[in-house]
Amino acid sequence: MPDIEITAAVLGRVIVQAGRMIDGPFTRVIERYGITRNAWWLLTELYRTRSEEVATIGEHARRSGLAASSATIATEQLAKRRMVRRWRPKDNRRASFVTITDTGIELVDNARSDLERSVAALYEIFDQDDRCTLHDLLSRLLTDGLQQLDEQG
């Protein structure tokens, strides 16, 4: 294979194609648990921040990359299944807070285990050093890259 210049477009295509490979197993797993993508992203944000200070639905929406209205709908869906608890403080009826419940924590733990099993073969092509490098690069893309995109408007 001839050497090609790794431009932003080339790298972007590779990242998108790799994401699409993993998207199939991801979709099958969350569908098995009966939740939408938005509900999954909100639930995993709540899971990740469960030991931090309680935050509004809007703040969790921002952190998980969802529109506030999408997070509200996801919260309603998850609350019906008792995976989250939602409430409004008496002194501020405009704010709505949400936390993950033990049922939600259990679902995330189980779904993540299923996700791990469903894509395990894909990751066997990498040795431990490769996995660490890939993790570090993609983590940097998610943190620094998103910050740069936000700054660009």
- CATH code for position 49: 1.10.10.10
Considering the domain boundaries, does residue 54 fall inside one?
Answer: yes
Considering the domain boundaries, does residue 145 fall inside one?
Answer: no
Residue 102 pLDDT: 98
Considering the domain boundaries, does residue 55 fall inside one?
Answer: yes
Whole domain around residue 92: which residue ranges? 8-119
Residue 150 pLDDT: 66
Rounded to a whole number, what is the distance in angstroms from the first to the last CA of the chain? 38
Residue 147 pLDDT: 67
- Locate tokens 């939740």: which residue? 35
Using a pLDDT cut of 70, give the percent of the chain over it: 92
Low pLDDT (below 70) residues in the chain:
1-4, 146-150, 153
Domain count, the chain: 1
Considering the domain boundaries, does residue 32 fall inside one?
Answer: yes
Would you say 95 and 89 are in contact if contact means Cβ atoms under 8 Å apart?
yes
Q: Give me the half-sphere count of Cα atoms (radius 13 Å) on the Cβ side of residue 12.
A: 4
Q: Give me the half-sphere count of Cα atoms (radius 13 Å) on the Cβ side of residue 31.
A: 6
Q: How do residues 57-70 score in pLDDT, each as one tens digit?
A: 999 999 988 999 99
